[in-house]
Structure 1
Amino acid sequence: MRRLPRFLVPLVPLALLVGCTDGGVSGGVSGTPGAAGLRDPLFPRLGNGGYDVRHYRLTLEYDPSADRLSGSAEILADATQDLSAFNLDLHGMEVADVTVDGAPAAANRAGDELTVRPRDELRRGAPFRTVVRYAGTPRTITDRDGAEEGWLRTAAGGVLALGQPAGSMAWFPGNHHPSDKATYDVAVTVPRDLAALSNGELVRETTKGAARTSVWRSTAPMASYLATLVIGPYGTTNGRTRDGLPVLSAADPTVAARTAAVAGRVAEVTEWAAGRFGPYPFSSVGAIAVRDGAAGYALETQNRPVIPAGMFDLRTLVHELAHQWYGNSVTPANWRDMWLSEGFATYAEWLWAEDREGTPADDSFAEAYETDANWAFPPAAPPSAEHVSDAPVYGRGAMVLHQVRREVGEEKFLALLKGWPERHRHGNASTRDFTSYAEEVSGRDLGKVWKVWLYGTGGRPR
């Protein structure tokens, strides 16, 4: 991250479903409800316990003239305990009905929590299928630090859906914590003069009358905050890296000309990054250039980062593409581990400057060291949710990595850069996982680095 359809049946008020008995919904189960929230250190209410999502199948229709989204979310999951009920995160929207394994399920709302009570108890280890039909006008969410996410409306009937840290709950129900990654199928129907882009690959596109339906598939696990939906009059360009990796980029027509030169270097940056960080972890790459004002930041949405035109420079592209390894493939275990994402992506900028621009990483380190904002708190311990994207997570996080490089030497540091995303490919990892791994790979006790640079609260070390 960098800052700067209509339903075929009418919606049924959700309250009518709560405690209903016809259709076989009943109490009489011995399991317990899954937790409403995973007690994340910074966002304790995000996510839900008791199950692990394997796949989301979203079928969406958006009417820009009415600013109305209607959809069906099919969620395939495995129970991780005996469940009498479980929760989904959903912000706003009207829920028509919910089924679990094809049977009507009771459900109720409390804020952003949709509690689902299936007819039959879900046994631990058992797969189950939940379908939620919903509709309404999705909302923009303002984060505690003032940034906007969720459903962001743009010009010409367009939409930009961004999810860090919790915005994806504005447009689909799910387990919205980075620790629960899943694969996705997203089918989006919009007016035929608009494009609809999402993550992964476009597997099918059809037009019928005045509507266009685009189907996107992400076969690699993805944290929900990295999911995106971009609707508008976007133009696309296609290409390939020298290794044959597909490159699909898109741009709003009003910014296409001014962003084309940098967008044209996606393949080059990806090839460079693969040399530094190991094989690219996904099946395609690209970037999406949006109008200034659509969002106040760039975001590393999986496969295809979203970058406002005013930020669409080479350093930002390097940063967001580096996230495909650090943050997207290896996703922080919780939001306090965010430095593992942003610190690595910032250090990638330093490496690019060193390899391609003749600026040693020592110089980038010195500049970061002299920046007062980087010393507000330790990178591994943001004091609250408002500070999860503050300077120490980025700049001091990168300084931690540079200190590791100085301690272990070039050969072992290069091995660490490649080995870390290989070991945790398509998974999650914590700060403790990283510190243990760095010492394992280097054969060195790095306790002083961790104490002073990663956790130290005493200001600039001299």
Structure 2
Amino acid sequence: MTLGLTACSGPSGVHATSGSAGVGDPYFPKSGNGGYDVTHYDLTLAYTPDASDASDTSKTRDSAAAPTLTATATITARATTPLSTFDLDFQGMKVNSLTVDGKKASWTRGGQELKVRPPAALRKGRTFKTTVRYSGTPETITDPDGSDEGWLPTADGALALGEPTGSMAWFPGNDHPSDKATYDITITVPKGLQAVSNGELRSETTTGTARATTYSWHTPQPMATYLATVAIGHYDITRTTTRSGLPVYVAVDPQEAAASRKVLAELPEIMEWEEYNFGPYPFSSTGAIVDRGGDAGYALETQNRPFFPGAPDTATLVHELAHQWYGDSVTPKSWRDMWLNEGFATYAEWLWAEDHDGDTAQQTFDALYKGTYFDDKADDDAVWAFPPATPTSAAHISDSPVYERGAMVLHKIRLTVGDARFYDIIQGWAATHRHGNANTADFTAYVEKMAPAKDFTEIWKNWLYGHGKPARP
């Protein structure tokens, strides 16, 4: 990776370079930035909806006037190379001011890049704080696969979802899964609205004028930018604990409360089952956010409390909670490694069904292989469109091979090593890379290390990396 032209930064005497715009992701080359590692985001957001209709829950998404944010982001990072300039990912909204370590810095913008020139070059190893004050209406970003992310207006508020590149629509940062950080997210909303985010709710304060309420959320474990969320609206809030004492915070749109009640009551049981199978839960709380159907086109494993557009079914709840281990705690190094998220979470659905009087994992595997799993033959054929470890493009990182065929890879490993060693592998994988990043090569090496007497050549060659439908041995 080329970092840019060498420069000398004047009085500081530091021989420095420009941090790269992008980390070279194979599918999203502009995402992320070189030259630094973020350790903490402190985001302070003030949300202003359409003042005339802020409490009108009958409004549709299309009729809602564009809301605005007035925000400050303070990004604490460590320089990994001497830096004369560095980039942040930030698309849309107006930058009102920018400082580095409290001193005014210059900046330029181009596309999603916010290029910052600090008043003096930053030495390698130096920890520095960049404060960006910005405002405006955040954008909704359309993914290569056609789905919407970023900032999504809803009937009674807004929703921020970030996979794979939407976080840059509502805060500046190093928007790539390879750079994880802790977070403090503070959101002020008009009184009557609520603001839900990741981690733990530290405070909820209504101002003396009683016109606004401020919610302060803290995420103490590292989190990728795409897993950060804010949900603003009207919610029924439930606070409970699991039998082990883990806090459970659930926020449900009142229109979805009745439909969600039964499945959300299963959440503690699902968490207990997943801890038994996947190992200790990696975070300090769990829960869910259920907004109205249509507020987004997909569920997402936002850290601590996954998001659902409408009441989920049990399988979807199992899937998104499994991501807390596989995807949220063990996060891919690049978007090419998505099967390590989705294959694991899909296989969790198979295992849940197997343990709860449904089809066995073998029966599900067989149905997929025979082409009888889906109602539509085109869906059955799509499983074999490309190898799970190498999606054909950014538009296909969430396609069936990444999910179903990824799960089939795990089942093949299970058949090869037996149940006892298989659970050692998936638990050990989660523990070894807890709160870190890993790629497919890391995983295959780990499996081979854990079962050195077994030969995985056929699995890797034909099921993980092979094109087309493998000949079944």
Q: TM-score band (shorter)?
A: over 0.9
- The separation in 2 between residues aligned to 1:404 and 1:199, in whole angstroms, is 34
1:378 aligned residue (373, 377, 387):
387
Deviation at 1:29, TM superposition (A): 5.5
- The separation in 1 between residues aligned to 2:470 and 2:421, in whole angstroms, is 26
* Structure-2 residue corresponding to 1:50: 35
- The separation in 2 between residues aligned to 1:140 and 1:173, in whole angstroms, is 15
- The separation in 1 between residues aligned to 2:446 and 2:260, in whole angstroms, is 39
Could you say what secondary structure the match of 1:177 adopts? coil
* Structure-2 residue corresponding to 1:114: 114
**TM-align CA RMSD:** 1.3
* Structure-2 residue corresponding to 1:348: 348
Deviation at 1:136, TM superposition (A): 0.4
- The separation in 1 between residues aligned to 2:292 and 2:357, in whole angstroms, is 28
Aligned length: 437
Give the gaps of 5 or more residues in structure 2.
1-8, 51-65, 372-379
| TM-score in terms of structure 1 length | 0.93
* Structure-2 residue corresponding to 1:20: none
Q: Note if 1:85 corresponds to 2:85.
A: yes
Alignment of 1:272-351 (within 5 A): 272-309=273-310, 312-351=312-351
Alignment of 1:18-33 (within 5 A): 30-33=15-18
Contact 2:198-2:228 at 8 Å conserved across structures: yes
Distance 1:395 1:355, change over 3 A: same
* Structure-2 residue corresponding to 1:14: none
Q: What one-letter code is carried by the residue in structure 2 that aligns with 1:165?
A: P
C-alpha deviations, 1:117-175, integer Å up to 9, x for none? 0011101111001100000000100111110000001112x101000000010100000
Deviation at 1:251, TM superposition (A): 0.4
Contact 1:25-1:105 at 8 Å conserved across structures: no
Distance 1:72 1:26, change over 3 A: farther
Could you say what secondary structure the match of 1:375 adopts? coil
Deviation at 1:308, TM superposition (A): 1.3
Q: Note if 1:456 corresponds to 2:455.
A: no
Q: What one-letter code is carried by the residue in structure 2 that aligns with 1:202?
A: L
- Structure 1's consecutive aligned runs of 4 or more residues displaced over 3 angstroms after TM superposition are 24-29
- The separation in 2 between residues aligned to 1:383 and 1:172, in whole angstroms, is 29
Distance 1:153 1:417, change over 3 A: same
Contact 1:27-1:119 at 8 Å conserved across structures: no
Give the gaps of 5 or more residues in structure 1.
1-23
C-alpha deviations, 1:50-101, integer Å up to 9, x for none? 0000000001100011611010000000000000000000010100111001
2:26 aligned residue (30, 41, 57):
41
Alignment of 1:381-400 (within 5 A): 381-400=390-409
Q: What one-letter code is carried by the residue in structure 2 that aligns with 1:136?
A: G
Contact 2:386-2:468 at 8 Å conserved across structures: no
- The separation in 1 between residues aligned to 2:468 and 2:135, in whole angstroms, is 51
Distance 1:173 1:26, change over 3 A: farther
Contact 2:151-2:158 at 8 Å conserved across structures: yes
Alignment of 1:47-446 (within 5 A): 47-65=32-50, 67-156=67-156, 158-208=157-207, 209=209, 210-309=211-310, 312-369=312-369, 370=371, 371-443=380-452, 444-446=454-456
- The separation in 1 between residues aligned to 2:260 and 2:173, in whole angstroms, is 34
Q: What one-letter code is carried by the residue in structure 1 that aligns with 2:367?
A: E
Could you say what secondary structure the match of 1:415 adopts? helix
Deviation at 1:460, TM superposition (A): 3.4
Q: What one-letter code is carried by the residue in structure 2 that aligns with 1:374?
A: V
| TM-score in terms of structure 2 length | 0.91
Distance 1:176 1:25, change over 3 A: farther
Contact 1:25-1:104 at 8 Å conserved across structures: no
Q: What one-letter code is carried by the residue in structure 2 that aligns with 1:47?
A: G
- The separation in 2 between residues aligned to 1:91 and 1:27, in whole angstroms, is 31
Q: What one-letter code is carried by the residue in structure 2 that aligns with 1:435?
A: T
Determine what percentage of the aligned residue pairs are the same residue: 59
Contact 1:25-1:118 at 8 Å conserved across structures: no
